[in-house]
Chain A
Amino acid sequence: MSTSANTVVLDPTGELKPQHRELVTRPESLNGLTVGLLDISKARGNIFLDRIEERLTAIGAHVKRYAKPTFAKPAPVDLRHEIATSCDAVIEALAD
């Protein structure tokens, strides 16, 4: 561009203005809390989560198990809502 005026371009992004969200306070102990275990449905995620459940139960946590319908898509809104409203913490088993 050989013009003397500054080049003005259009923003190619989604121009998002993300909301700032505070992290919830980390619990002192898991004793008596409800912990959700989310299996993303990849092979052998259940083996990992079974062991985590044993360990959590041993320290007094209540465990609820959840699974995504498929690892290849984001967790459905309803599932995320259920975990958020019925658990104090969540652990996601990410991969094989």
Chain B
Amino acid sequence: MKADFSSRPPLPNGLVAVVKQDCPTCVLVVPVLADLAERANITVITQDKADFPAAAEWVVLDHDLALSWHHDIVTVPTLLRVENGEATTQTEGWSRDQWESFTGVDGLGADLPDWRPGCGSLSVDPSRTDELAVRFSNSTMNSRRIEIAPLEDEWEAMHDRGWTDGLPVVPPTEARVLRMLKGTSRDPQDVVAIVPPDLVECTIEKIAVNAVMAGCLPEYLPVVIAALEAACTDEFNMHGLLATTMPTGPVIIVNGPIRREIGMNSGMNVLGQGNRANSTIGRALQLVISNVGGGKPGGVDRSTHGSPHKIGMSFAEDEEGSPWDSLSESRGFSSNQSTVTLFSGEAPRIIFDQMSRSADSLVKHLALSLMANISPRLAMGFETVLVLGPEHMARFKDAGWDRTRFLEELERYLTIDADDIIRGAHGIEEGLPDFLTGSQVPKFPPGGIHVVHAGSNAGLFSMTFGGWVAGATGSVTVTKEITR
């Protein structure tokens, strides 16, 4: 059991100074403090040495920095006026004029310079702040504490416990998790979701632990929380997506102001490595599914081949460079709302077109390429995310096409004569069932093409994510607002 350091200790009432010996300004004002002890009944709180500025009963040692930490002392010396254990006014550093008016005592430090700045309080020393936060912040974290033995390598210890995705993870120490929790205003014990497959209640705290391990910064945490909330809806069906033999996983698309605030990449190498937010947000979600939900490869995760993007797949839309409404606006949100959209998808692949100069040519070629998603012999069962590169988007901008026009044209070329891909047609047994003979079918179900603008300014390419079983019997694409 830890000692209860969390209660806020009262300051001594009256005139108080907080000092440390390791500060030239504090040393400079020693004669003034002695003078004030005699003439103004001051109490001096010393941070680093019990007999500084004097071995006297008006000097109190703040040995564990509890007084300094709880009362937000940033600078030493700080003079405070205290009533009922709380500071009412204060002044920092040494200034004869200010100290005289603050204390009401004249003729202070006549031999001293008029003014000197103070030094940093030990309670805000960067090497101590994490430890002090853990000790004093009245931690409500409930996770089991696990001590890594002295001869254990902490990275190996975490891997051996089955906590990783095969790559190294950041050790989730209490200090790091506390820092992560500063990324949200939500209570650490709020239950956010019931995580499959074990159907475990997941708190903000557990998400923060896994976000630390994934390498997230605290400001990413609200995105991870929203992504988990979206993943654990009945519509998204994370259990099915995890259990499927297909090589699919959650694809997270981020829209709105938070993309820029946390530095997400929507440009060059947008779907690749190198950007911390892009690389760790999706990974944090997958670690929660694995660690909290218990969904592990070989367990409930039954993917035949899997895919590298199952380590974690998150990216942002380039909204500023797009002539169209964003993905989240097209799904009913406003441009000043930050959102995550979760799509059940396979790894992205390229659609290569360096020759089309007209919107008509390009839309036909995009449609032809999309016909190959999952299999050219299957239709209506799978949605897609189409990531239009800026140089492809420029063709549609030049032609004056908006999102609606683009989708109308695209869907026109994505209409299939079912007889061409019916089971057995052209000697291939896979295909549409016989009852569709003679009909025209769309490649994707209604609303099943989700267009996002992203990528760098050079490269006449787009990308497509194939989907998993679409609709109420499989997975429905879910958009959720990110709140802090």
Contacts and interface: CB of A to CB of B under 8 A. Distances in A.
Contacts of A1: 154, 171, 173
A16 B200 contact: yes
Contacts of A12: 143, 163, 172, 206, 209-210, 213, 287, 291-292
Contact of A14 (B154, B172, B245, B292): B292
A95 B304 CA distance: 13
Query: Which residue among A15, A69, A73 has the maximum number of chain B CB atoms within 10 Å of its CB?
Result: A73
A13 B292 contact: yes
Given A72-B237, A72-B475, A14 B198 contact: yes
B480 interface: no
B202 interface: yes
A82 B240 CA distance: 22
Interface stretch (A2-10, A24-32, A83-91): A2-10
Contacts of B209: 10-12
A16 B210 CA distance: 16
Contact of B202 (A6, A7, A14, A69): A14
A8 to B, nearest CB: 5
Interface stretch (B55-63, B145-153, B352-360, B457-465): B145-153
Interface in B229-282: 237, 239-240, 244-245
A17 to B, nearest CB: 11
Contacts of B154: 1, 7, 9
Nearest to B473: A70
A66 to B, nearest CB: 17
B244 A72 contact: yes
Nearest to B292: A14
Contacts of B149: 6
Interface string B91-123: 000000000000000000000000000000000
B200 A9 contact: no
B158 interface: yes
Contact of B206 (A14, A73, A74): A14
A8 B245 CA distance: 37
Nearest to A15: B144
Interface string A57-85: 00000000000011011100000000000
Interface in B192-214: 195, 198, 200, 202, 205-206, 209-210, 213
Contacts of B150: 6
Contact of A8 (B174, B205, B237): B174
Contact of B473 (A6, A11, A69): A69
Contacts of A9: 145-146, 148, 154, 158, 171-173
A6 B195 contact: no
Contacts of A14: 195, 198, 200, 202, 206, 291-294
A61 to B, nearest CB: 29
B195 A73 contact: no
Contacts of B213: 12
Contacts of A16: 198, 200, 294
Interface string B467-479: 0010011110000
B364 to A, nearest CB: 32
Interface in B432-484: 469, 472-475
A31 to B, nearest CB: 35
B286 to A, nearest CB: 12
Contacts of B141: 10
A38 B293 CA distance: 26
B174 A10 contact: yes
A9 B293 CA distance: 19
Query: Which residue among A8, A10, A12, A13 has the maximum number of chain B CB atoms within 10 Å of its CB?
Result: A12
B173 A8 contact: yes
A74 B163 contact: no
Contacts of A95: 245
Contacts of A74: 239-240
Query: Which residue among B205, B206, B287 has the maximum number of chain A CB atoms within 10 Å of its CB?
Result: B206
Contacts of B292: 12-14
14 contacts: A8-B174, A9-B148, A9-B173, A10-B146, A10-B172, A11-B146, A11-B209, A14-B198, A16-B200, A16-B294, A72-B469, A72-B475, A73-B237, A73-B239
Instruction: Please list the 4 inter-chain residue pairs (A to B) with the smallest Cβ-Cβ separation, ordered nearest first.
Output: A14-B200, A70-B473, A10-B143, A72-B240
Given A6-B148, A11-B144, A73-B237, 12 more contacts: A1-B154, A7-B171, A9-B145, A9-B171, A10-B174, A10-B177, A10-B209, A12-B206, A12-B210, A14-B293, A15-B144, A72-B240
